[in-house]
Chain A
Amino acid sequence: MNAPIPQKLLLSGNEAVAEAALDCGVTLGTGYPGTPSTDILEHFAKIGGKAQWAPNEKVAMEVGLGVAFSKSRSLVTMKHVGVNVAADPLFTSAYTGVDGGMVIITADDPGMASSQNEQDNRRYAVAAGIPMLEPSNSQEAYEFTFKAFEISEKWNIPVFLRMTTRICHALTGVEKSVSIAPPAKPGYEKNIQSRVMIPAFARPAHVKLRQKLADIEVFNDDSDLNTVTGTDSSFGIITSGVTFMHCREAMPDAKILKIGMCYPLPIQSIREFAKSVDRCMVIEEGDPYLVEAIRAAGISVEGKAEMFRFGELNVKKVRKIIDGDTTEPPAIPRGKAPELCAGCPHQTSFNVLNKLGCIVAGDIGCYTLGVLPPYSGMDTCICMGASIGIGLGLRHSLPREQAIKVVSVIGDGTFAHSGMTGLMEMMYNRPEYGHLVIILDNGTTAMTGMQESPTTGRALDHSNAPQISLEGLVKACGVEYLDVIDPYYDQDRYEELIKERLASEKTAVIIARRQCVISNKKIKAYEKEQDSGCQEGGCDHE
């Protein structure tokens, strides 16, 4: 591979990762859409990489692992909560290890701009025993992707690259200044003891994993992933990720240890740094992960007040942390909340469900906005696919007059992600008074920016792909009633249908099918491109 030509580009962290993946010769990028990670794979596809959406993060993780078992390089992308879905293969992949390079992007959302929680996935690195790198700008997002592949291949272990909203979606300058040896030739080598995790093989694999992690810690201590900058040793800061930038701005001269690889931690370097300054404070976004680990190693450091665990950090908050100022900031007027678009096909569903006094177990998508006035048509929302299980639990336990009002509402993409198993549960452990599931089929994954899924009939790059039939899946489960209706044009019939199906006390699925108004134009354009044989296409954000 030729050395890349240095040229300065203005890139988002997500674009930088995609560029790096291409320059590293990644064979396959796979993942599941979720803000703030979605545009990594979209950009990767746009610049010529092979990228695909999996039905969910668990499948993506498994496909990525299979690629890396063949000595090839794989990139697997997801948002922070996606790692929960992928956790099962993730934990054991640390035991099996990989033959090629495998880099997993976890895009965390501190402040919950577009998520249901603000879990800090640095905890996953520790729990699973997967090394984790954390870039602080797009330049590092580019370079650390290379480093992550190097570490992955040197120790035959998957590696996490942890991004956050302000890394993923911040534009900063990037120079393509690094290179990597080309990937090995793909080929399968039998290695049953390492890859078949029956207890007899998994026990030694766990011991081996801990040895690898100990070695990687030594490597990390000697590496250039962690840097010390600044001259004023009267006050030292230990930090990582974008928080480094806030700290540097708040304290231009302070000595700062920026941790680039946050698991396994470079404890020796941290110990030396703490000794080199008069006062040493750990400033980190989210959970007190660094401060706990550093204190557990017997190093005395100051930490932030509990109130700064919540939300994103910024320069002002960093100043307050340093000053020990825990006063609440002045309240600022709230902006306008998002809402369902005018003409959105979901509107009628929530109007009707609200009118009928239903108890609505909801799910994740644009339609979650159905919880807000004027619809106020949702009672629960937990995670992808949860609507069906939660609805069933309510049906099993509520008195009859309430149970027969419970409805599960789930989008087409979310149904493909993790709704199918809920449907099997509905038939296998049928509640006494039946159940009603409404699949809101708007033909796209609208909330994350119009991505494709197995039921849209188009691949990640919007080219034609086999379309999996929702009706077929529902029928295969043996659901007693299946109806397909346009919720917008057939509003009156839709309301009657919901009433009838609830009253039947049988198992029923209604597919409320109508294209998202925003995606409509785009889809027509994709179809035209297909007809004219042109495969170019991309997605913008507004």
Chain B
Amino acid sequence: MSKPINIVFAGLGGHGVIKASDIFAQVAFQAGKDVKKSEVHGMSQRGGSVSSDVRIGENIQSPMIPDGESDFLIVLSEDQIPNNKHRLKEGGVLITSEVLTGKLKVKKSLNVALLGCLSSYLDIDEEIWLSEIKKSFPENMYDKNVESFTIGKTVAQETQTA
């Protein structure tokens, strides 16, 4: 059985960490993967550190990613890197908001742009990503979100070929 792909989303409460991981979990699920996602709700959301684990593959067991076994770490605010780095496996990919500095027109859609970055590493149809993004936000934000998603995707593709 192939190993799962593990993705940790991290940031501060209220910044869209859970929303991003919710969207991604649905995307992977719609793409026919087995998905497990878990995080902790409650006190941690009053501006404190928040992280969410998503695992996708064929047959996922634990909903929690063991420390040091994450393939991707997506961080929505830079100051959350030190307390989450240990989640990443050796050679794992760290995706941070830094790559997007100055490129996003709508700062609020950072989480969507980071999903764009992640999409460039995974073999899932863009259509599925966009349809889940559409479902997750008000109608009138869709065009801006598509733009942010595309910026994220392009930036990440450039860094991979560079």
Interface residues of A (CB under 8 A from B): 10, 35-36, 111, 113-114, 137, 165-166, 169-173, 242, 245-246, 248-249, 312, 314-316, 332-341, 366, 369, 447-449, 540-542
Contact = CB atoms under 8 A, between A and B. Distances in A.
Find the residue from B19, B25, B37, B79 having the highest chain A CB count within 10 A: B37
Contact of B35 (A36, A171, A248, A340): A171
Interface in B1-36: 12-19, 22, 25-26, 29, 34-36
Interface size class for chain B? 35 or more
A511 B45 CA distance: 26
Contacts, number: 123
B86 A542 contact: no
Nearest to B87: A332
A409 to B, nearest CB: 17
B44 interface: yes
Nearest to A315: B66
A339 B14 CA distance: 12
A242 B62 contact: yes
Given A10-B25, A169-B40, A447-B43, A337 B63 contact: no
A333 B82 contact: yes
Contacts of A170: 36-38, 63
Given A10-B35, A170-B63, A172-B63, A341 B29 contact: no
Contact of B18 (A166, A173, A336, A541): A541
B146 to A, nearest CB: 22
Contacts of A249: 61-62
A242 B13 CA distance: 25
Given A166-B38, A169-B41, A333-B82, A338 B46 contact: yes
A316 B69 CA distance: 10
Contact of A10 (B26, B38, B61, B67): B26
Contacts of A248: 61-62
Contact of B45 (A173, A316, A337, A338): A338
A36 B46 contact: no
A131 B13 CA distance: 38
B35 A165 contact: no
Pairs A-B, 8 closest by C-beta atoms: A114-B42, A335-B49, A338-B48, A338-B46, A35-B42, A249-B61, A170-B38, A170-B63
Nearest to A36: B41
